[in-house]
Structure 1
Amino acid sequence: MYPEILRIGSFSLNTYGLLLAIAFLAALFVAARLAERDGLPRERIYDLGLWMLLAAIVGSKILMLLTEPSYRENPWHLFSLDFLRSGGVFYGGFIAAVITGYLLVRHYELPWWKTADAFAPGIALGQAIGRQGCFAAGCCWGRPTTLPWGVRFTEQAHELTGVPTEEYLHPTQLYESFAALALFLLLLWFYRRKRFDGQIILLYATLYAVIRFVIEFFRDDPRGDIAGLTTLTGLSTSQLISLFVGIGASLLLVLRWRRAAHPS
């Protein structure tokens, strides 16, 4: 857990920011390679990636605004340095990126499902790297545990994120990082053997929803609530979104699989 890589005077190089940048570049590189292999223009993929990154940043902040009481009660925090440096909520960024990507794919006259498939493995790889940044910063922490791999965070991490330092916690950031890495490898394997366009992105959405739903049971950082749904259901916001995304993606996956197996 090293929130800062180095500090020179007032300038500091944060581990989280560096790993997030590496995650984006790695995801974009993988997407461009896979897209080019399928005959899609590499330049358009780079354009798509940059616009989707911007959309993801905005979407993650908007969902954080909706779920975090401190931002709802103090909207001027939207313009604070703390808000700009915070990571946001992944599903907000993912949904915003998908919507933006769909509109741009239509504008560029690219095949939607084939383009989305090219991005899917890279998204998983980006998550695997990005969650390492969360671990370094101390955000997205887990519940207390007595398991041998429980971790205690530093005072510096506590000052940045508020992570408890007095007891060992589930390293939920690493749980998701390793799960996302395994998902990345699985998606690459399926990509070379896919039966129809859309199979990879829908497989990603389905499996990541399961991963996120399970990991949320081990998380203990404050993640807010929307319209009291968390209080009503006992599930976190991300778990509720995972249910909708997972069910919707799995149904589409089955429908497209059947259509590919029995073309009309």
Structure 2
Amino acid sequence: MHPYLLHSGHLLLPTFGVLAALGLMAALSLSLRTAALVGLNSDSLWNAGLFTLLSAFALSRILLIATNLHNFLAYPILLLTVPSLTSTGILLTLLATLLYLRIRNLPLLDTLDAWSPPASLIWAFLALGHFSEGSDAGLPTTLSWGLRIPPSHTRLHAVALYAAIIAAILTLLLLRQLKHRRQPGETVALALASAGTLQFLLTFFRQPYPYTTSTLYTALDPIQWISLGMIVVAVVLVLLPGKLVTHAV
């Protein structure tokens, strides 16, 4: 495991942060190509993607500060370095993005189709980041490619590496499908259904979610609930007439 690319005194350069930044830039660059495939202006899609990323960052930090105001006043820099993207932050980012697309008159399904391969590419980079820092631990395994995370000598499934490989393959498949899509919404539906199914299956190799106070969590892992939600949305996109959704934004 290599959690830091650079560690010199108080100077730390986390590998996860570097890979996340590279993934975001690669995704934005890829969106220039996918925009052309769906007939959108590449600059408009780039700006929309940048708005979404900045919104996610800003809204997550605002929520973090609002819910930890006392700690922020005492240790502002330390608190802002804490990962803070929550389900509430994602929901607010989604709403802000939908409003932005409406203001800019960008068609919803075409935009989501164009964003599908870049989103999968970001997933691949983030998974590599988790693999590099030794997070996203898997269940014990006797397979030869199992990872040993010090100080333990037990081999664990390399779930993060599995996810990175899967996401990279999915990115290529989505790009191919995008070139041959027959109607708006097909690519994002495929992306949601595929990613949801794969994430659901990956949970069988992950260590269980540690917080089980909610009855929902005892029935299924939170990631499994999210995965099922992604699959349901994909089904809705396939069954719902495309024109209705297209004109919703």
1:178-199 deviation digits (Å, cap 9, x = unpaired): 1111111110110010010111
Asked if 1:25 corresponds to 2:20, the answer is no
Asked if 1:99 corresponds to 2:102, the answer is no
**From 100, 122, 128, the counterpart of 2:124:** 128
What is the letter of the counterpart of residue 143 of structure 2?
A: L
Asked if 1:14 corresponds to 2:14, the answer is yes
Following superposition, the deviation at residue 108 of structure 1 comes to: 0.4
Q: Which runs of 5+ in 1 are unaligned?
A: 66-71, 156-164, 260-264
Q: 1:146 to 1:19 in 2, by over 3 A?
A: same
Q: Percent identity?
A: 32
Give the aligned partner of residue 44 of structure 2.
44
CA distance in 2, matches of 1:201, 1:192: 13
1:75-127 deviation digits (Å, cap 9, x = unpaired): 866767367333746x7666554433222110101111111111100000111
Contact 1:190–1:200 (8 Å) recurs in 2: yes
Contact 1:77–1:83 (8 Å) recurs in 2: no
CA distance in 2, matches of 1:147, 1:24: 33
Asked if 1:238 corresponds to 2:223, the answer is yes
Q: 1:25 to 1:135 in 2, by over 3 A?
A: same
Aligned ranges 1:42-191 → 2 under 5 Å: 42-57=42-57, 81=78, 84-86=81-83, 88=85, 95-154=91-150, 165-191=152-178
Following superposition, the deviation at residue 257 of structure 1 comes to: 7.6
Following superposition, the deviation at residue 24 of structure 1 comes to: 0.5
How well do the aligned residues superpose, as a CA RMSD in angstroms? 3.0
What is the letter of the counterpart of residue 41 of structure 1?
A: N
Q: 1:95 to 1:208 in 2, by over 3 A?
A: farther
Q: 1:96 to 1:135 in 2, by over 3 A?
A: farther
Asked if 1:207 corresponds to 2:194, the answer is yes
CA distance in 2, matches of 1:253, 1:177: 27
Q: 1:52 to 1:258 in 2, by over 3 A?
A: closer
Contact 1:223–1:236 (8 Å) recurs in 2: no
Q: 1:222 to 1:88 in 2, by over 3 A?
A: farther
CA distance in 2, matches of 1:108, 1:224: 41
Contact 1:55–1:93 (8 Å) recurs in 2: no
Following superposition, the deviation at residue 226 of structure 1 comes to: 7.3
Following superposition, the deviation at residue 60 of structure 1 comes to: 7.1
Give the aligned partner of residue 194 of structure 1.
181
Between Structure 1 and Structure 2, how many residues are aligned? 239
Q: 1:40 to 1:249 in 2, by over 3 A?
A: same
> TM-score, length-normalised on structure 1?
0.78
